[in-house]
Chain A
Amino acid sequence: MNSKYLIDNVAGIIIKILAGFSVFMVFFIIGYIFYLAAPSFVNNGINFIIGTKWGNGTYQAGVFIINSIILCILTFIISVPIGLGTAIYISEFANEKIAHVLRFCIELLIGIPSVVYGLFGMYILSKLFKYNIDMFISDFLGVIPFFALSSSDSGSHILLASVVLSIMIIPILIVLTDDALKSISKEYKEGGYAIGATKWEVIKKIIVPTATPAIVSAIILSMVKAIGEATAITMAMGTKGAIVKNIFEPGTVMTSQILSSMGYSFNEPEILSALFGIAFILMTISLLFTIIARKIQDRVIYE
């Protein structure tokens, strides 16, 4: 009789240790980053975030932060309408069989590693942009300097990076939004049909508003993934260290800077501290948005 409960106790202890590892890991990660990043923040103050000098003893992350924000906004503009539209089509308009096939295709492609997309963007899409699309866009929107094509265009620019990033996160966005739309109880929809609304009106006025928290949470989680992407963006945009003034310019984002500089700069404490400072900012942003997304999700479940 005793041995059974001895095993039980031992098992319980082992399980608690295993669970504690994750907690320990997070403490360790945050602590280590904080410890190494602190000098940068102490020496530069607020200028670490808004200053743009990188070199000769002063290392400030402003350029990368702004480029990351611009990249995110562009990716948002491209991926959210397409992702939502596709999800609505699959869950509301397509018939059962087609929806099944579509879901299968999209789920299959969620796991494709980012390097593959980066390669695709670098070798194939950049040529497409350089010879066809860029001029087209510049013709239409070139009035605004942000969209005007200047003399040299290599095809590898922030627009390309945002397209690649969009391709990467759209499948996840679709699956999450699809789940959100599927979870709306039938009674809501049938109520709408019962009072004579068309299918689109039911979508527009009932389904989407009800699913909005879940959809917003899906978008936030997808964008968090986008912010953290390093390899593919480095491949698509390169590492030119200036603020992007134009969608046809390359530029460096936070993740690219870390990836490219880590290898040879870890010996110099100032640069190392700056890189960890960037990592700290990245983690803060990811953490903030992940928590917001979870809070929105929790509210949905208890509704």
Chain B
Amino acid sequence: MNNILLRKIEQKIFHIIFLISTLLVISALLSIIALITSKALPVLNLEYLLTPEINTGFAQGCANAIVGSIYIGVFSVVFSLPFAVGTAVYLKKYAKRNRFTYLVELFIDILSGTPSVVIGMLGFMVMAWQYKWLFGGFTLLAGIIAVGTHIIPIMTRTIIESIKTVPKIIEEGSYALGASKWETIENITLPSSLQGILSSIIMGLGLAMGESAIVILTAGYSLYIPEIGIIPSSKTIYGFLVLPFQQSVGSLPYLIYKSYMNPLEVPENYAFAAAFVLMALVITLNIIAKITMYQYSKNSK
């Protein structure tokens, strides 16, 4: 009897320890959200959200950063999606289980383990510096390519996972009816893994918008909302710039970083306001992702 009591007490002790650690985590995360929100609220108004910094002064408006971040997020995903889908389809559908495919999977892992600063510094050296005459210096385009490369591995893995879940029976049925390989992929495999592709898109969006080190080193910063058009310029060898791609853009992470770097010029409320906007965007994306997943699992039942 005594032994059982001791064992139960031991269990209770660890139960409490684990409960404490859980409460610690939850309260830390909740208080972060709460504190950021409370410090951001005093300056968070429509004017702050809709006016670019050029009109309001340093860090007192964030429209340029919001638009820039959206551009970076959307176009990075547009850039990386073909490569992610292509790599996933190749690995799961085309490649034989040989050493070459193992190498490709290894390389995806290497890419995913590359720290973002490293990708950023490479992007800077190659695109913003060496090929300045082609890109135009610190540009949105350089940022898109660099951030896009950074998010390819995660998207590839997610899409691979969802391709795996397509039942072989359906595909074999398609082949049995005489469809070619690509027809099967196009009409059966990809539509069935659409949910995974969708969630990889949303995940990539969130990651791209929150990426700081890469953007600092490749996309520069701008106080203006990016314009669209083509303007003549001596920065490139071919004499013109395609906007908004070949200009520097503002971004929320860089705005936050600059606000931190200049504490005397930027009251902390404005720094937290930018952080709040970024956080709200990312959490909203996560919620959308969860809702889409929930809807898909409901529909397939």
Interface residues of A (CB under 8 A from B): 4-5, 7-8, 11-12, 14-19, 21-23, 25-26, 29-30, 32-33, 36, 81-83, 85-86, 88-90, 93-94, 102, 104-120, 122-124, 167, 170-171, 174, 198-201, 203, 224, 227-231, 235, 255, 258-259, 262-263, 266, 275-276, 279, 282-283, 286-287, 289-291, 294
Contact = CB atoms under 8 A, between A and B. Distances in A.
B22 interface: yes
A111 B115 contact: no
B117 A279 contact: yes
Contacts of A113: 209-212, 253, 278-279, 282
Given A198-B7, A230-B116, A86 B183 contact: no
Given A16-B90, A32-B126, A170-B25, A89 B19 contact: yes
Contacts of B7: 198, 200-201
A231 B126 contact: no
A112 B109 contact: no
B206 interface: yes
Contacts of A171: 25, 29
A289 B21 contact: no
Q: Chain A interface secondary structure, helix, strand, loop or mixed?
A: helix
A255 B90 contact: no
B236 interface: no
A124 B35 contact: yes
Contacts of B182: 7-8, 11-12
A266 B129 contact: yes
Contacts of A289: 113
Nearest to A120: B32
Max count, chain A CB within 10 A of own CB: residue among B22, B180, B253: B22
B18 A26 contact: no
A15 B122 contact: no
B283 A291 contact: no
A224 B110 CA distance: 12
B91 interface: yes
Contact of A112 (B18, B283, B290): B283
A230 B26 contact: no
Interface residues of B, number: 92
A289 B33 CA distance: 32
Given A15-B89, A122-B260, A231-B253, A115 B114 contact: no
Contacts of B25: 82-83, 86, 106, 170-171, 174
Interface string B64-98: 00000000000000000011011101110010000
Contacts of A290: 109-110, 112-113
B15 interface: yes
Interface string B199-213: 000010011011111
B62 interface: no
A22 B108 contact: yes
Given A108-B286, A115-B256, A120-B36, A291 B106 contact: yes
Interface in B17-39: 17-22, 24-26, 28-30, 32-33, 35-36, 39
B210 A85 contact: no
Given A22-B87, A112-B279, A198-B7, A82 B24 contact: yes
11 contacts: A19-B83, A26-B111, A86-B21, A111-B285, A116-B275, A116-B278, A200-B14, A200-B15, A228-B118, A262-B121, A291-B106
Contacts of B212: 113-115, 230-231
A36 B168 CA distance: 47
A109 B119 contact: no
Contact of B275 (A107, A115, A282, A286): A115
Nearest to B89: A15
Given A122-B260, A123-B271, A29 B118 contact: yes
A45 B152 CA distance: 35
Contacts of B104: 19, 22-23
B14 A279 contact: no
Given A19-B87, A167-B29, 5 more contacts: A16-B86, A22-B111, A108-B283, A108-B286, A109-B29
Given A231-B253, A235-B257, A290-B109, A112 B122 contact: no
A89 B256 contact: no
Given A112-B279, A116-B36, A107 B114 contact: no
B272 interface: yes
B156 interface: yes
B298 interface: no
B266 to A, nearest CB: 11
Contacts of B271: 119, 123
Nearest to A26: B107
A200 B10 contact: yes
Contact of A17 (B8, B86, B185, B207): B86
A12 B114 CA distance: 29
Nearest to A221: B113
